[in-house]
Amino acid sequence: MKFSITMAAVAVAFAAGAQGVAKGPGCGVSYEPLVRAVASQKFCEKVGISAEQVAKLKVTADDKAAMKELQERLRKGVQRQAELLQAPEIDEKAVMAAVDEVWEVRKLMAKQQTARIVKVRTVLTPDQVGKALDELKAMRGRGKASKTSAEKKPAAKKAAEKAAEAKPAAK
């Protein structure tokens, strides 16, 4: 029984390491391609990202070395789990410690990826994010660059503006 649970934990760790960044259920849009795209000056010019914004995002593009280090730590941790499970005598405590180590690295990777997305989303305007995502879709051949979210929903924008105007009148 313990061996089955351990094998399941290792299988999950291997799968997590192999998947990289994924779009999970309920996640909506995957912003990781956008994070990578803003490192391209040509892309930034095409979607209207200013030089000042590019400078703010430069740090985001430069953290590849830190991510590579985490990926290497993950690879070694998964490898260590496999080695521990293939040993003639299984040390359950060591295996579980290796599982914990892998999940800690995955947590650090997720936090770093999320911080990059937050940085891009806070530096760019909502319109720029929409244009950039549309451009990425078009570049991948998933259709023409479509209207941005603001352009698609002018009625919602007008309703929000009316609601904002009505609040002072209600006081």
pTM summary value: 0.58
Length of the chain: 171
Least confident of 13-27, 76-90, 137-151, 152-166: 13-27
pLDDT class of 108 with cuts at 50, 70, 90? very high
Answer whether residue 47 shows pLDDT above 50: yes
The 10s digit of each residue's pLDDT in 124-152 is 999 988 888 888 888 887 654 445 444 55
Q: Which long-range contacts (CB under 8 A, 24 or more apart) does 49-54 make?
A: 49/124, 49/128, 49/132, 53/123, 53/124, 53/128
The residue ranking higher by pLDDT, 130 or 35, is: 130
Q: Are 148 and 131 in contact (CB under 8 A)?
A: yes
Q: Which two tokens stand for residue 48?
A: 């209207």
The residue ranking higher by pLDDT, 118 or 156, is: 118
Q: Are 16 and 22 in contact (CB under 8 A)?
A: no
**pLDDT for the residue 163:** 59
Task: Give the max Cα distance, the chain.
Answer: 78
Q: Which two tokens stand for residue 125?
A: 């305007």
**pLDDT for the residue 120:** 87
